[in-house]
Each structure stands twice: as structure tokens, then as C-alpha cells.
């Protein structure tokens, strides 16, 4: 158990310990992270094609993903709504004109296209594709090292994180309520508790959750994790402009780990500049604990 946990956490820690001052190197790390997302999702699609009883398993994937998404989303929404009632987050910001939400949703859905592309290639059953599982493990270790580098060099100090109470509060509420939702989903689906908790630990980080859980639980659970977390991001994009008017904490919390990158521009334009520091802290905290919790529950 602990050896598997160490294998996942070690590259993350090693990457976090490496300081980078060179701007071009930091840009390269960010570019590599973007490319690795596509590589990993493509490999995941290949692994999916090698499943036995493929049609039955595809139905199972969407069943798991749908139930998990609903349970986690409802628990997150309820907990964040309660936080907003108890500790209102007020602002005088007037919402700016936003880019097309459909366009942003299509950007996210391109990732599904990458998985489908890998799946289509996997259906050829070429012999060399059977090495996809080993390739995914190597890609995962490299991705985690890059994530560690990015977190270390994100210009966020421990002092800044701790002092931003709103970002920390929302992150804690999201983390705990998502795990409760994952436990409920496991109960409804008849899955082991740790599987439900692992599915809930992605916090919207679909590229990482998909590959970590594929390695630990197989392609069915890994693919369910990917679609669960991707659905979270798509819903956040659609709901942020509306939610930010009545419940800023909910608008931020539903973004999960993506609040420090993909959904940050939407949060900023919808909620104003004072939304940015809590969003970055919130995303940073969830990005830091997601691989730790996934590794723990998967070990």
C-alpha cells in the first residue's frame, strides 16, 4: 500500500523541491504540462479499447460517472450555499461582458475527442498498443513531476495561502463535501468506499484523476473519473456568470482545482479582480491535495 503511495508522491515532491527562475524554462514546463494532458488522455483511450465486454463496460462507465457527478455536485453546492449564508462574500463589482460560454465548453470537449481518438486507435488491437499501461505509468510520473515544478514556481507563498481566508475556506468546504458525495456515490453504486473517495478526490482535475485511477482501479473507474471531472468543469463554465451574482463562494467552489487556470478568466470577468486571489489559493490548495488523496485512496 505505502509503496504505491510513495511512487505517486515522490515525483510530485521532487518537482516541488526544484526552484526555477528562468522564465523560458517556466514557459516550457507549462507547455509540457499542456501536451502531457493530451498524451495521457490519448493513452487512456487506447486502454479503454482493450476492455473485455466493451459495450457493457461503456454503459458502466457512464453510469458511474453520472452518479458520482450528481452526488459530488449536489454535496458541493449545498455546502457552499451554506457557507455563503453563514459568511456572505459581498462586492460592488459589475459583471463584464463574457466570451461565449459555448466556445469555452467546446474547448473542454476537445479533450473528449482526444480520448475517442485513442479509443479508435486501440480498436485496431495492434500488438504494440498492449504496452499502453506501461506508457501511462511513465507519463503519469512525468506529469506529476511537472505539476510539482509548476506549484513550486507559481509565485504563491505559504503566507499568502494561509492569509487568504476566503480561498482556504472554500477549498476546505469543497474538499470535505466532495468526499462525502463520493462516499454516497459509492454506497449507491455498490462500490468499495475507497473507490468512491478516490473518484471524488480529482476535484475537476480530469487529466490526473483519469490516469491515476486507471492505473489503480482499471480503465472503467479511470474513465468514469475523467468524465466526472470533465463534467464538473463544463458545469462550472456554464454556471459561474449566474452564480457569482448570488453566491460567489459557490461560483468559485464548483470550479474545483481549475480555478487557478482554465476557469480563472471566467471568474475574474464575472466576479472582478477581488475574485482572483481567492481563486488562485483555492485552486492551488485543491491541486496540491488532489494527487495526495487520490494516491492514498488508490494505494
What confidence tens digit (pLDDT) does each residue in 182-209 have? 999 999 999 999 999 999 999 988 778 8
What is the pLDDT averaged over residues 146-166?
A: 72
Q: How many domains does the chain have?
A: 1
**pLDDT at residue 288 is higher than 90:** no
Give the pTM: 0.76
DSSP for 219-249, written as a single string:
HHHHHHHHHHHHHHHHHHHHHHHHHHHH-HH
Nearest to 290 by CA among 213, 188, 189, 185: 213
Whole-number average pLDDT of the chain: 82
91: Cα within 13 Å, side-chain hemisphere: 19
The rounded Cα 92 to chain-centroid distance in angstroms is 31
Give the pLDDT confidence score for residue 293 in this predicted structure.
92
Burial state string for 180-211 with b = 16 or more CB within 10 A and e = fewer than 16: bbbbbbbeebebeebbbbbbbbbbbbbbbbbb
**Closest to 219 in 3D by CA, of 108, 119, 291:** 119
CA dihedral 255, 260, 263, 269 (to 10 degrees): 110
pLDDT of 271 strictly over 90: no
Question: For the CA atoms of 249, 67, 9, 16, what is the dihedral angle to 10 degrees?
Answer: -30
Between CA 30 and CA 80 the distance in angstroms is: 31
For residue range 25-76, list pLDDT tens digits in order: 878 887 887 787 788 778 877 877 776 666 778 889 999 999 999 999 999 9
pLDDT of residue 74: 96
Q: What region, left, alpha or beta, does residue 95 occupy, with left being phi > 0 and alpha being psi -120 to 50 degrees?
A: beta
Of 23-37, 97-111, 158-172, 266-280, the one with minimum mean pLDDT is 97-111
Candidates 229, 221, 201, 204; CA nearest to 294 is: 201
- With left for phi above 0 and alpha for psi between -120 and 50, is residue 97 left, alpha or beta? beta
Task: Give the residue with greater pLDDT, 261 vs 204.
Answer: 204
- So what's the pLDDT on residue 234? 80
Helices (H), 153-164: 158-163
Task: Please give the residue range of the domain that contains residue 167.
Answer: 2-298
Judge whether 190 and 104 are in contact, CB under 8 Å.
Answer: no
For residue 155, what is the DSSP state? Answer: S
Cell reading at 92: 460592488
What pLDDT score was predicted for residue 122? 84
User: Residue 297: is its pLDDT beyond 80?
Assistant: yes
87 pLDDT exceeds 90?
Answer: no
**Gyration radius from the chain CA atoms:** 19
Residue 2 has pLDDT above 50, yes or no: no
Per-residue model confidence (pLDDT) at position 1: 41
Residue 171's pLDDT band, with cuts at 50, 70 and 90, is very high
The predicted model gives 257-273 an average pLDDT of 79
> CA distances (Å), 126 to each of 49, 54, 120, 130, in order?
11, 17, 11, 8
SS3 content of the chain, % helix, strand, coil (to 5): 85, 0, 15
pLDDT category, 118, cuts 50, 70, 90?
confident
Amino acid at each position: 500500500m505505502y509503496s504505491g503511495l510513495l511512487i505517486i508522491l515522490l515525483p510530485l515532491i521532487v518537482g516541488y523541491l526544484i526552484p526555477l527562475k528562468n522564465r523560458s524554462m517556466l514557459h516550457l514546463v507549462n507547455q509540457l504540462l499542456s501536451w502531457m494532458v493530451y498524451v495521457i488522455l490519448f493513452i487512456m483511450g487506447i486502454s479503454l479499447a482493450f476492455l473485455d465486454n466493451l459495450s457493457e463496460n461503456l454503459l458502466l462507465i457512464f453510469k458511474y460517472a453520472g452518479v458520482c457527478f450528481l452526488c459530488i455536485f449536489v454535496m458541493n453546492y449545498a455546502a457552499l450555499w451554506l457557507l455563503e449564508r453563514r459568511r456572505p462574500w459581498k462586492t460592488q463589482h459589475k459583471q463584464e461582458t463574457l466570451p461565449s460560454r459555448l466556445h469555452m465548453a467546446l474547448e473542454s470537449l476537445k479533450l473528449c475527442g482526444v480520448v475517442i481518438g485513442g479509443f479508435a486507435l486501440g480498436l485496431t488491437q495492434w500488438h504494440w498498443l498492449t504496452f499502453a499501461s506501461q506508457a501511462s505509468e511513465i507519463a503519469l510520473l512525468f506529469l506529476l513531476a511537472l505539476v510539482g515544478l509548476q506549484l513550486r514556481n507559481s509565485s504563491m507563498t505559504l503566507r499568502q495561502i494561509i492569509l487568504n481566508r476566503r480561498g482556504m475556506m472554500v477549498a476546505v468546504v469543497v474538499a470535505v463535501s466532495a468526499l462525502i458525495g463520493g462516499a454516497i456515490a459509492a454506497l449507491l453504486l455498490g462500490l468499495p468506499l475507497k473507490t468512491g473517495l478516490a473518484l471524488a478526490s480529482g476535484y475537476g482535475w480530469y487529466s490526473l484523476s483519469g490516469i491515476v485511477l486507471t492505473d489503480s482501479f482499471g480503465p472503467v473507474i479511470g474513465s468514469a473519473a475523467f468524465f466526472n471531472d470533465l463534467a464538473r468543469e463544463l458545469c462550472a463554465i456554464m454556471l459561474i456568470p449566474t452564480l457569482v451574482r448570488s453566491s460567489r463562494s459557490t461560483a468559485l467552489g464548483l470550479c474545483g482545482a481549475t480555478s487557478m487556470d482554465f476557469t480563472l478568466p471566467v471568474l475574474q470577468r464575472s466576479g472582478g479582480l477581488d475574485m482572483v486571489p481567492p481563486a488562485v489559493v483555492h485552486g492551488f490548495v485543491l491541486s496540491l491535495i488532489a494527487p495526495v488523496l487520490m494516491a492514498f485512496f488508490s494505494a
